[in-house]
Structure 1
Amino acid sequence: MRRLMWIVALVALVWCGWWWAASSGLRGGVSAWFDARAAEGWQAEVQEVTGGGFPLTLRAGLRDVALADPQAGLAIRTGTLDIAAPAYWPGDVTVTLDDDPILIASPFGRSTLTMADGVMALNLHPGTALELEALGWTSGPWQVEDAQGILAQAGDLTLTMVQTDGATYALTAAAQSFAPGSAARRNLRLPDTFPGAFDSLQMRADITFDTAWDRRALDQRRPQPRVIDLHLAEAIWGDLQFNLSADLTVDAQGNPSGTVAIQAENWRTMLDLAENVGALPAQLRGQVEGVFQALAGASGNDDTLDVELTLRDGAIRLGFIPLAPAPRLILR
């Protein structure tokens, strides 16, 4: 019995030592990351980094966090950020976001993000490479607001990236009851009778990269997409319905080839909205509408676009007719 007690005491002592070392390493790693960003020219400030979670969890609580990347023109400021991981494997990390407004500044302006129960989760495979197994961001109700009012809001948010086989990852994105806010509706010049929220806003895709995502993606090069299977990108808003699917391969220079299928119901109203926000110049409206009219007529329904585009030799084509240069798909 005494021997068993000594064994239990020894195990407890070793565990306490491991927890203390791992907890100190987590807090030290957070501080080192901020120091490294500051050395790169970022604004990287954190008022306080606290620990906790003994005996089963490693925690680092960050207070008054400010990050700004001058090259990207992006800045974020938040009051709290809590990082937690199981003590037995610190590679499964959960980041809990502040329920209070998070300030975001970008080249598009300043806004605040308010998000209930916002959580980011990172799961890494044990090993020296720390290969990514899963990445996710979920939340309850959220909204983005600027000086003019609410820009957008939704009942929840789901963003996931899950490794399925080697360098292939399944990506999903969805926001239930997504609704442009009052400021966005004014810019779109929507009538009061137009539905407030989308019936559906979601995306599902499988992407194969040239290498798996691991720690080298942070300090060496980003994995580049090589096969893109976009099962569905869907937006349904009242009488407007837009669906997109694609089957693409991407070469080493980032040039895509394959097919893209597009379905759009009530496309004239979509053009109206694009023109209202300045995405479609008024002088081009007639030309674009004429092309869409011809495409819709070919499908047998003047109000519905149903076309398949081909990407080949650096161009987007409808049949043998080149429409526009194809974008290069390169992750910087």
Structure 2
Amino acid sequence: MRALLWIILVAAALWGGYWFAGAKATEQAVSGWFAEQDGRPVAAQHQGIAVRGFPNRFDLTITQPEIRDAETGTGWSAPFAQIFTMTWKPWHLIAALPQEQTLSLPGQDLTISSTVMQGSLVLVPGMDLTLDRLSTESDGITVRSSAGWAVSATSANLATRRAPDSAMGHQIWAELTTVTPDAAFRMALSPLSDLPEQIERLRLDGTVTLSAPVDRHLATTRPDLQALTVKEALLLWGDLTVSGKGDIVPTADGTAEGRIDIRIDNWRKLVPVLVAAGLVTPEVSETVTRAMELMAAQDGTPDVLDVPLVFASGRMSLGHVPLGPAPRLR
């Protein structure tokens, strides 16, 4: 019995020593990363780092983290960020974020509010800490822009996983449910359409190819988007359904180039949406409708339109209908 007691005491002491050593190493590694960013294009700061969770977890809390990229004008800040991991599998992280955080983009700041926002991140064991897979879940999310617009959703979910056939590829899946567009857009759409105020579902299933792995060196390697393959893009909005698949790549200046093959059920519902969004002027909406009628009639399905969304020479068009400048992918 005395021998067993000694074994238990020794094991407990070893485990306690492992935890305190691991907690110290975690705190030093995170503090070191923040310090390494000083003088780089990516600047990072915080107001405190603490590790708790003895004896079975490493619970990391970073107070007032702020990360900014001087070259792109992007940044992120929050009152705190928490990362939890079990002591026996430190490559599997669980993150919890506050109910309000700020994402800075060129020309505007986005305030992101939610009732719940949490994520799970799994790294490849090793010194580089390469991302293997990631999932996030958010409920009651609202995004408000300093430019004056706001959108909300009942839930927002995102998942990524390393592509099995590409060292730089990641499979991605994202879905928003019960999306409420900006009030100004809804006011512009209301007299033109009987679509409901809320979009039932937005979903994207695809693969992105990057220029470098997503790992602890990303502040230096700065992975860029090289290609986007859309397996399925879906919008469900009342009796309007839009789906698509195709491939897009960024040009040298970062604008999108490629083609997404679109299928639109009850396509006439889409024209007022394009007008309210400012992609089509009211003066040419009837011309656009007639052009879509001709395209739909060619397939013998007057309520279903199969048409390519084309990105070329810095512009985008839906079939023969011009929609304006192509979006920038990087």
Query: Does TM, scored on the shorter chain, surpass 0.5?
Result: yes
1:147–1:296 Cα change, 3 Å: same
Q: Quick one: percent identity of the two aligned structures?
A: 23
Q: Residue 104 in 1 paired to residue 103 in 2?
A: yes
Query: Hey, what does 2:156 align to over in structure 1?
Result: 157
Query: Hey, what does 2:124 align to over in structure 1?
Result: 125
Q: Is the 8 Å Cα contact of residues 160 and 173 (structure 2) preserved in structure 1?
A: yes
Query: Hey, what does 1:171 align to over in structure 2?
Result: 172
Question: More displaced, 149-158 or 172-181?
Answer: 149-158
Q: Is the 8 Å Cα contact of residues 213 and 223 (structure 1) preserved in structure 2?
A: no
Q: Alpha-carbon deviation of 1:32?
A: 2.4
Query: Hey, what does 2:90 align to over in structure 1?
Result: 90
Q: Is the 8 Å Cα contact of residues 143 and 153 (structure 1) preserved in structure 2?
A: yes
TM score, norm. by length of structure 1: 0.78
C-alpha distance in structure 1 between counterparts of 2:107 and 2:255, whole Å:
28
Query: Hey, what does 2:197 align to over in structure 1?
Result: 196
Q: Alpha-carbon deviation of 1:54?
A: 0.9
SS at match of 2:65: strand
Q: Alpha-carbon deviation of 1:56?
A: 1.0
Q: Is the 8 Å Cα contact of residues 143 and 150 (structure 2) preserved in structure 1?
A: yes
Q: Residue 52 in 1 paired to residue 56 in 2?
A: no
Following superposition of structure 1 onto structure 2, how do residues 297-312 of structure 1 map, counting pairs within 5 Å?
297-307=297-307
C-alpha distance in structure 2 between counterparts of 1:207 and 1:43, whole Å:
26
C-alpha distance in structure 2 between counterparts of 1:271 and 1:118, whole Å:
35
SS at match of 1:5: helix
Structure 2 gaps, min length 5: none
Q: Alpha-carbon deviation of 1:169?
A: 4.0
Q: Is the 8 Å Cα contact of residues 124 and 134 (structure 1) preserved in structure 2?
A: yes
SS at match of 1:140: strand
Q: Alpha-carbon deviation of 1:268?
A: 4.5
C-alpha distance in structure 2 between counterparts of 1:15 and 1:42, whole Å:
37
AA aligned opposite 2:90: P
1:124–1:43 Cα change, 3 Å: closer
Q: Deviations over 1:104-134 (max 9, x none)?
A: 3323523321112201221012234434321
1:90–1:250 Cα change, 3 Å: same
Q: Deviations over 1:217-261 (max 9, x none)?
A: 553363865783x33110011232210023x59799999999742
Query: Hey, what does 1:141 align to over in structure 2?
Result: 140
Q: Alpha-carbon deviation of 1:329?
A: 10
Q: Alpha-carbon deviation of 1:15?
A: 1.9
TM score, norm. by length of structure 2: 0.78
1:258–1:73 Cα change, 3 Å: closer
SS at match of 2:64: strand
SS at match of 2:204: strand
SS at match of 2:134: strand
1:21–1:264 Cα change, 3 Å: same
Question: More displaced, 181-190 or 109-118?
Answer: 181-190
SS at match of 1:222: coil
C-alpha distance in structure 2 between counterparts of 1:11 and 1:223, whole Å:
47
Following superposition of structure 1 onto structure 2, how do residues 1-332 of structure 1 map, counting pairs within 5 Å?
1-99=1-99, 101-146=100-145, 151-163=150-162, 165=164, 167=166, 169-186=170-187, 188=189, 194-206=195-207, 213-215=214-216, 217-220=218-221, 222=223, 228=229, 230-246=230-246, 248=247, 260-280=260-280, 291-307=291-307
Q: Aligned-pair RMSD on alpha carbons? A: 4.2
Q: Alpha-carbon deviation of 1:26?
A: 2.0
AA aligned opposite 1:180: P
Q: Deviations over 1:303-324 (max 9, x none)?
A: 4321367999x999999x9x99
